[in-house]
Amino acid sequence: MELRPYQWEVIMPALEGKNIIIWLPTGAGKTRAAAYVAKRHLETVDGGKVVVLVNRVHLVTQHGEEFRRMLDGRWTMTTLSGDMGPRAGFGHLARCHDLLICTAELLQMALTSPEEEEHLELTAFSLIVVDECHHTHKDTVYNVIMSQYLELKLQRAQPLPQVLGLTASPGTGGASKLNGAINHVLQLCANLDTWCIMSPQNYCPQLQEHSQQPCKQYNLCHRRSQDPFGDLLKKLMDQIHDHLEMPELSRNFGTQMYEQQVVKLSEAAALAGLQEQRVYALHLRRYNDALLIHDTVRAVDA
């Protein structure tokens, strides 16, 4: 199974045994690239053993198909997830196969299990592939596993497995400024003990040909000639206004300015202990929200 030029470009450091993150858009062939790295690893590393970690159950089967095609029956492979029913111990299965694809939770349970059939050490593997590796942060199971890896590294445990991360979007960690985004990416690399994020530099045109580009389409709709839903909401809001007896409160329903007025009214009523007035204000705000949404989205498209 041949790789495309941009796939070759991003996997080269991994073929040299280096820890990297492969960053390719969705549909560009990250899994195939990782499967090739795993194949070469098994070919070149004496007694090599590979584990592929995923964070969703359905990806176990999906990745299994891709890796099975790449391995072409030359190595033993098994797939494991929590919904596959009764099975032999995780540790036993991992020791009996060259390549294991599983949910990260199963590996984490095996690392901490006291049972011989279940227990396994990270050093049992020579290559760890982490799919959707941008989830390796905070207290996620990926990060828990990689924290144990880093502890082994600090203890100078040998040999440590090679790490290969896969992602379509490293993300920014919610940062709104460049420095924050950079720090987030650096932290991701540190969590995975990777020295580089590989994305195509020399074969971008070929990448664009094979990646799924979003297609924007704009459909102009005519304004409603009749609006029974909007009319009913405004009638209810008028009735609340009549109960409030506050002529200074604008009746410009369905606007941001009106929302600001009722928010202030709700806050003032809460401070004054006027529970009935506060309830009126809360209802007015919800009705106004509905009008704003109704003005933008047709009910038929809900």
Please give the Cα distance from 120 to 100 (Å, whole number): 13
- Same topology, domains 5-210 and 228-301? Answer is no
Beta partners for residue 127, in sequence order: 50, 162
Domain spanning 5-210, CATH architecture:
3-Layer(aba) Sandwich (3.40)
Contact 262, 291 (CB under 8 A): no
Mean pLDDT rounded to a whole number for the chain: 93
Please give the Cα distance from 280 to 284 (Å, whole number): 6
First to last CA, the chain: 44
Helix (H) or strand (E) segment spanning residue 13: helix 5-15
The count of other CB atoms within 10 Å of the CB of residue 235 is: 9
Which pLDDT score is estimated for 238? 95
Residue 297's pLDDT band, with cuts at 50, 70 and 90, is confident
pLDDT digit string (tens) for 114-127? 998 899 999 999 99
pLDDT digit string (tens) for 50-61? 999 999 999 999
Q: Is the pLDDT of residue 87 over 90?
A: no
Say which residues have a Cβ less than 8 Å from residue 262's Cβ, sequence separation at least 6: 249, 281, 284, 285, 288
Contact 166, 22 (CB under 8 A): yes
Q: Is the pLDDT of residue 212 over 70?
A: yes
CA 211 remoteness from chain centre: 18
* DSSP annotation of 138: T
Indicate the CATH number of 228-301 among 3.90.1570.10, 1.20.1320.30, 3.40.50.150, 1.10.10.60: 1.20.1320.30
Domain boundaries, the chain: 5-210, 228-301
Contact 21, 167 (CB under 8 A): yes
pLDDT digit string (tens) for 267-294? 999 999 999 999 999 999 999 999 999 9
